[in-house]
Structure 1
Amino acid sequence: MSDHRLGPMTTQDPALLARVHESAFPEFFLSALGLRFLTEFYAGFLGDPTAVAVVARDAGGVVVGAAVGTTEPAGYYRRLLRRRLAGLVVASAVAAARRPKAILRLARGAFYRGEAGDDGKPTGALLSSICTAPSAQNTGLGKRLLVEWEYQARAKGASTAHLSTDARDNDAANGFYRSSGWVLDREYRTREGRLMNLYRKALA
């Protein structure tokens, strides 16, 4: 077993997780929006009653990963906008300045509520993000984070969970979820034409 401990998110963690996320996914869309936006994204999971946030630390206490989501996606994102509107506006403006063509995708993707194409929203908890620092990859930490996130979502009353991930050029992530018991429900396309896989898992 990897020498990491799992625990709740603290107020100091979002900025640290932003750097972990950026290093874990250097070519992904959210990373391209910058550390300020990523910090606001992770800070949104602090203090919300429906948030499920598990943070991993190494033996020295350094943050090396996290799994975050919510048991009530629609309500969570409404509250997020009320609680962190100012910070999100500033972070979004900075991100849009860096990547002007990304603003529409930013508006849809950053506040993803579980929509899955024309078939509507799946029910249950939403796993919004899971990441591990490069130094902690291939240690089993990702699987531990996922299992603990599922346990905590179930403890908060969720009987099912879902997530979306890229269907193409993403074999490692798709294989990870399948090997963890998540079942491919369907493929769908975003409005930008991005092909996605929707996975579900029963938590009961």
Structure 2
Amino acid sequence: MVRVATKDDVKRMVAVHQESFPGFFLSALGAPFLSQYYRGILAAPEGIAYVYLNQAGEPAGFVAGTANPRGFYRRLLRRSWHKFALAALVPVLKRPRIAGRVARALVHPSGNPVGDHVAGLYSIGVLPELQGTGAGKKLVGAFLDEAARRGCRRVFLTTDRDGNDPVNAFYAGLGFQVERHFETPEGRRMNEYWITLGGET
């Protein structure tokens, strides 16, 4: 039910993202921007991405991130800055105030932990009808296994601290632990979770 994501899955990954995160900033940037984002992860040597297939064999969930996350977005922009600029143009023209936030979204992970021993899980989404079925757990498990195979010893992710109890409980149930709280420039209070691979402390 879980397999490595390919470029042919990007359209479905974007659709699942938008349905899983309605009203969120990246969803509001639209399908062209998200398509470039996920294509960038899939094309990167450090990229890690899987899809969960429903009974019809169609991607109905996904997980995406990278090994060695420090500077990944900078490297991504260096390769495809013109494509991201074009994809962001319409949303920014419609809402000029978001221009600064778009820029921050692209360079934010420059402060991520550095090193081949670390992986960052950036995004996971599952269609509503599959939530509670174990699909998300299988996706995270596949991501962690691949990160470990690549020599990573720890994996981190961030998620909203407030109004997000089911998601926080999901990560805690998988063994992730909150190691840092922080607040975004927009005022979102966030949890930074970490897990050590191989059961080490």
Corresponding letter in the other structure for 1:147: G
The change in CA–CA distance for 1:114 and 1:7 in structure 2 (over 3 A counts) is farther
The change in CA–CA distance for 1:29 and 1:141 in structure 2 (over 3 A counts) is same
Distance in 1 separating the partners of 2:149 and 2:91: 36
Partner of 1:122: 113
Distance in 1 separating the partners of 2:170 and 2:137: 8
1:196 maps to which of 186, 190, 193: 190
Partner of 1:187: 181
Deviation at 1:63, TM superposition (A): 1.1
Count of residue correspondences: 195
Partner of 1:136: 130
The change in CA–CA distance for 1:54 and 1:111 in structure 2 (over 3 A counts) is farther
Q: Secondary structure at the match of 2:83?
A: helix
The change in CA–CA distance for 1:110 and 1:57 in structure 2 (over 3 A counts) is farther
1:163 maps to which of 157, 162, 169: 157
Q: Which runs of 4+ in 1 moved over 6 A?
A: none
Deviation at 1:111, TM superposition (A): 4.3
**Structure 2-normalised TM-score?**
0.90
Deviation at 1:127, TM superposition (A): 0.5
2:22 maps to which of 19, 26, 50: 26
Q: Does the alignment pair 1:147 with 2:141? A: yes
Distance in 2 separating the partners of 1:7 and 1:133: 17
Equivalent residues of 1:33, 1:99 under 8 A apart: no
Identity across matched positions, percent = 37
Partner of 1:87: 83
1:108 maps to which of 88, 100, 104: 104
Pairwise CA RMSD of aligned residues?
Answer: 1.6
Deviation at 1:27, TM superposition (A): 2.0
Equivalent residues of 2:5, 2:50 under 8 A apart: yes
Q: Does the alignment pair 1:69 with 2:69? A: no
Distance in 2 separating the partners of 1:160 and 1:84: 28
Q: Which runs of 5+ in 2 are unaligned?
A: none
Corresponding letter in the other structure for 1:160: R
Distance in 2 separating the partners of 1:38 and 1:67: 14
Q: Which runs of 5+ in 1 are unaligned?
A: 116-120
**Structure 1-normalised TM-score?**
0.89
Corresponding letter in the other structure for 1:17: M
Q: Kindly provide the CA deviation profile for residues 125-183 of structure 1, in whole angstroms up to 9, marking residues without a partner as x.
A: 11000001122212110011011101111111110011111111111111111111000
> Going by fraction, where is helix more abundant, 1 or 2?
2
